């Protein structure tokens, strides 16, 4: 059973309930009208019938045991069935246009940090990068991400990027760490 079938079943049940309820109201109104016309209900009454396309009923003005007229009581109107939207579970356009967080991979070797950012459907000239000491900000038309970086060993002025097939590759050069050239050698002191 599809979701449209569920909606049809629910609204069909509500429509049936509404019809039964309106029939009960109509029967009670007819009973009141008979009592007024027969004189069983005393007072001053003004009765107007409503018979328009889609609207049927009565407006009854009056007071029991009184000659003064009161404000009209509006007739109950049958509930109109709301149309079911063609795509009830569709994501609103405003939500689709929100910035999304892209998937990223950060790989580090001795000399570089490479950041792979998946940004499908983005145009290359809509992408901007902002590198600071502690982070890389990646902005696109539909994507936004801040990538935290190590503060101590990157060269802020030496960054390159390439965008191909929806993947942005950002390469950042690292500073040479002091004593790194001696790391592989054993020394006794």
Q: What is the mean pLDDT of residues 33-39?
A: 78
Residue 84, pLDDT > 80, answer no
pTM above 0.75, yes or no: no
Q: Which of 97, 99, 127 is nearest to 115 (CA)?
A: 127
Q: What is the pLDDT of residues 93-139, one digit of tens each?
A: 666 566 788 999 999 888 889 999 999 989 999 999 998 768 899 99
Check which CATH number belongs to the domain holding 140 and give it: 2.60.40.790
Same domain, 65 and 132: no
Please, what sign has the CA dihedral across residues 90, 95, 98, 100? negative
Last residue of a domain, one of 52, 75, 90: 90
Task: Give me the pLDDT at residue 103, please.
Answer: 93
Same domain, 102 and 168: yes
Q: What is the pLDDT of residues 37-77, one digit of tens each?
A: 787 777 777 778 888 887 877 777 776 664 544 555 555 66
Q: Which residue has the tokens 């590759």?
A: 169
Q: What does each C-alpha distance from 93 to 96, 98, 141 come to in angstroms?
A: 5, 9, 15
Q: CA angle at residue 143 from 169 to 116, to 5 degrees?
A: 20
Q: What is the mean pLDDT of residues 7-32?
A: 81
Q: Is residue 70 part of a domain?
A: yes
Same domain, 38 and 69: yes
β-strand partners of 59: 48
SS3 assignment, position 44: strand
Q: Is residue 123 part of a domain?
A: yes
Q: Beta-carbon neighbour count of residue 146 at 10 Å?
A: 14
Task: Give me the pLDDT at residue 183, please.
Answer: 56
Last residue of a domain, one of 41, 56, 90: 90
β-strand partners of 142: none
* Mean per-residue pLDDT of the chain: 78
Q: How many domains does the chain have?
A: 2
Task: Give me the pLDDT at residue 26, please.
Answer: 84
Q: Is residue 188 part of a domain?
A: no
Q: CA angle at residue 93 from 88 to 95, to 5 degrees?
A: 100
Same domain, 71 and 103: no
Same domain, 72 and 136: no
Same domain, 47 and 81: yes
Q: Which of 125, 124, 126 is nearest to 99 (CA)?
A: 126
Residue 10, pLDDT > 80, answer no
Same domain, 103 and 67: no
> Do residues 58 and 50 lie in contact, with contact meaning Cβ atoms separated by under 8 Å?
yes
> Do residues 82 and 18 lie in contact, with contact meaning Cβ atoms separated by under 8 Å?
no
Q: Is residue 186 part of a domain?
A: no
Same domain, 4 and 86: yes
Q: Is residue 185 part of a domain?
A: no
Task: Give me the pLDDT at residue 181, please.
Answer: 57
β-strand partners of 129: 138
> Do residues 137 and 127 lie in contact, with contact meaning Cβ atoms separated by under 8 Å?
no
Same domain, 65 and 4: yes
Last residue of a domain, one of 90, 116, 146: 90
- Residues spanned by the domain of 132: 93-177
Q: Is residue 34 part of a domain?
A: yes
Task: Give me the pLDDT at residue 32, please.
Answer: 77
Q: What is the CA radius of gyration of the chain?
A: 38
């Amino acid at each position: 059973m599809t979701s449209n079938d569920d909606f049809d079943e629910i609204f069909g049940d509500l429509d049936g309930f509404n019809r039964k309820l309106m029939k009960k109201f109509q029967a009670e109104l007819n009973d009141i009208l008979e009592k007024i016309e027969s004189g069983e209900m005393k007072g001053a009454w003004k009765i107007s019938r409503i018979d328009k396309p889609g609207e049927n009923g009565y407006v009854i003005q009056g007071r029991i045991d009184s000659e003064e007229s009161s404000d009209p009581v509006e007739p109950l109107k049958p509930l109109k069935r709301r149309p079911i939207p063609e795509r009830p579970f569709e994501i609103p356009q405003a939500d689709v246009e929100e910035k999304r967080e892209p998937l990223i991979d950060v790989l580090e070797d001795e000399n570089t940090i490479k950041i792979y950012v998946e940004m499908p459907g983005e145009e290359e000239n809509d992408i901007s990068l902002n590198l600071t000491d502690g982070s890389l900000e990646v902005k696109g038309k539909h994507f936004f991400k801040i990538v935290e970086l190590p503060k101590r060993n990157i060269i802020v002025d030496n960054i390159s990027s390439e965008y191909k097939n929806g993947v942005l590759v950002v390469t950042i050069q690292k500073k040479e760490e002091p004593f790194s050239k001696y790391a592989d050698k054993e020394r006794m002191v």
